[in-house]
Structure 1
């Protein structure tokens, strides 16, 4: 491989690396929107035993090389070729067996061809639907699959979901928020597949961390729905009543579990003796009409019943959410705002939520890959090329470890994992990929900076 010799190429690398990284999560997260839970449930064939290997060393690549996603597919193919072209000692690189999933017969036909060719491992396909269609065949044939989808419904032993998932992002955010002393989580999310994926991930992450179940509210997207939804989630009426010297319980029309959670959290945060709506002795205070944000815009309210809030909106809906946060006095001094990796694509415009976090790969690990790719292909790689390069690096590493004899499960899932351009990663026994993402913090002037690993930003209110 020849080194980068021209200044203009070097400048292009430096100029585009951070911008492309910021877009990386956007592309990966969009794959989750096409999620569909189907596919085979049979065992992983000859790969089930840790001492077994696939007899053929060939690496199958299943990508859309023509059609609507042809440009992206070819970019990912170029990255996989780069990773697999590196020779280790006297061992020649594995042979690539390339199949176009956009041709007649689709991914299923491409997988049949890979099986007929005796491929030992498959990199791809790109989407959840294609992954579901090839999984039964791959499992029956005992061929491990490193799929580029973000849909965890496709994960199982023998088929690894390699895309950066909402669960990975949310889990990293919850872990970082816990490190700075936050324990009461909530989410205000769009009623979309991505919103629900983020919400489900928050519930799961909180349970895995032995935290109370988070308050999760979904909205339809209109400005009024966003304003009223955030007022409900943040217990706005109760906080207004407390500030005016009144006591009140949660709104009577809330679901029972949400009302109970809001009531309990409100008592803990403001130490007010709020009346329960189920108490027969309770009576509504005089003139207990609901306040609106404009009624008390000059008053300072107590903190809402959570100290970390997960969001997932973008575009105009995100602007409406930001406006509603201000109106309902959900302040960054009390609450750590968290969002999707999609925010990285336009972090320069998010100064209004300074201090908010999102999780994404550390760009420092990507620099060498960008230089090598640019030297060979005379262009800066697209963000999703990272996935295929890392998958190729994984295959090359296992191929070398076995002396070119195959791709056994015990090496694919080795506890020490692998080093990739999107950071270190480990394949698990249930088909997932564990990644250590970086935490990025939005700055007041726009843009974001990555926080030092394992270091809290600032203590949460009341944290010891």
Structure 2
């Protein structure tokens, strides 16, 4: 999102106090226990799937002191790596916050998202963190809604939000809006885009058209491709036949952008400034590719995530997936809400709509009226071997 839309508010207001308190918690963790190391020669501990608290019999767990929270992620199958990272980071957050307010249990959505949700609700969980995939959210939402159990999902698919489903995932539309707005402040007036065929590409294309219009720029062309070399080259060629452009958005992964950039430079965009989306932040290796040198993309801040990643490696003996921070932040969010949430009662989902917002590993965020996390994004530049922040993320939201 553009900086003008965020409207920074330096003064502390009633609505911003929740954000401030939550931010203090994040800074205080920062991250608590980062010095913990795994002794050499010993394997990293396995991810914890439940916080124990005495015997649990059939029906509702015998836990009268903590809130039951379900974590629904894929722990087996093709997405197991991402799911495990989210679960591990979520458990780190439980440990960092003392584990006195929530009791979290992990359910494997790879075995069936609907069945996982039914089991989680039968076990007495009052809020669901996850699922990760949009199709799993669609399967879980009706079950959770019937039981009055809110969902805080890790998906970024806006079509599954609302009706008790809140999305923590990184929105490509917000990323595009932010980087386009930044490019406009640097003099770009005419914009073009390249996007893959499919749902993501369609939504990215629509988001860019809206962003360029909102920023007062001019959209001169948008082409789609199917990720084959022939199709990508054809899209670049068609784009060159329309009009010249100051900035070009490649709405795809960093790996695909590395393939497209040389074609663009030779095919009509020799001097265009390349722009990317939030996907680039998950691929640090693209900083080693000279073809993207100087390109801009908007994403959540990596400041606190770097600390989380270090702590994660120390505890689990391997690097986390970038999405792991969503698990950590989801636990921080629920722990914050738990301060004013009576054990055994329904989760007070209305609190999530607080306009003052929240803070976490990924920076400031708040949920809009549709239940989608609006994030304070920074703009990063691809430099030699690293990403450099060229426009910091705003610290707070306006009313």
User: Do residues 429 (structure 1) and 358 (structure 2) align?
Assistant: no
Show the 5 A alignment for 1:259-408: 304=244, 306-313=245-252, 318=257, 321-332=260-271, 335-344=272-281, 345=283, 346-402=285-341, 404=343, 407-408=347-348
Distance 1:232 1:314 in 2: 21
Deviations 1:73-123 (A, max 9, x none): 3332222122234557xx9321223322233xx111111122223322110
Partner of 1:191: 197
Q: Select the structure of larger CA radius of gyration.
A: 1
Shift of 1:378: 4.7
Q: How many Å separate the matches in 2 of 1:221 and 1:381?
A: 27
Match of 1:59 in 2: 69
Hey, what does 1:45 align to over in structure 2? none
What count of residue pairs does the alignment treat as equivalent? 335
Q: Deviations over 1:226-282 (max 9, x none)?
A: 4454344234xxxxxxxxxxxxxxxxxxxxxxxxxx5xxx6xxxxxxxxxxxxxxxx
| d(CA) in 1 for partners of 2:356, 2:249 | 31
TM-score when scaled to structure 1? Answer: 0.64
Q: Is the 1:395–1:407 Cα contact (8 Å) retained in structure 2?
A: no
| 4+ runs deviating over 4 angstroms | 5-9, 207-214, 220-228, 313-320, 403-406
The unaligned stretches of length 5 or more in structure 1 are 10-55, 236-261, 267-303, 456-464
How much has 1:60 moved relative to structure 2? 1.4
Whether 1:4 and 2:35 are equivalent positions in the alignment is yes
Report the alpha carbon displacement of residue 223 of structure 1 after superposing the two structures with TM.
4.9
Q: 1:100 aligns with which of 83, 108, 114?
A: 108
Task: Find the residue that maps to 1:362 and give its secondary structure.
Answer: coil
Unpaired runs of at least 5, structure 2: 1-31, 41-65, 395-399
Provide the rounded CA distance (Å) in 2 between the counterparts of 1:389 and 1:376: 15
Conservation of the 8 A alpha-carbon contact between 1:222 and 1:317: no
Greater share of strand: 2
Q: CA RMSD in A?
A: 3.2
Offset at residue 398 of structure 1 (A): 0.7
Q: Which residue of 2 aligns with 1:206?
A: 212
TM value normalised by structure 2: 0.73
2:352 aligned residue: 412
CA distance in 1, matches of 2:34, 2:256: 45
Match of 2:379 in 1: 439
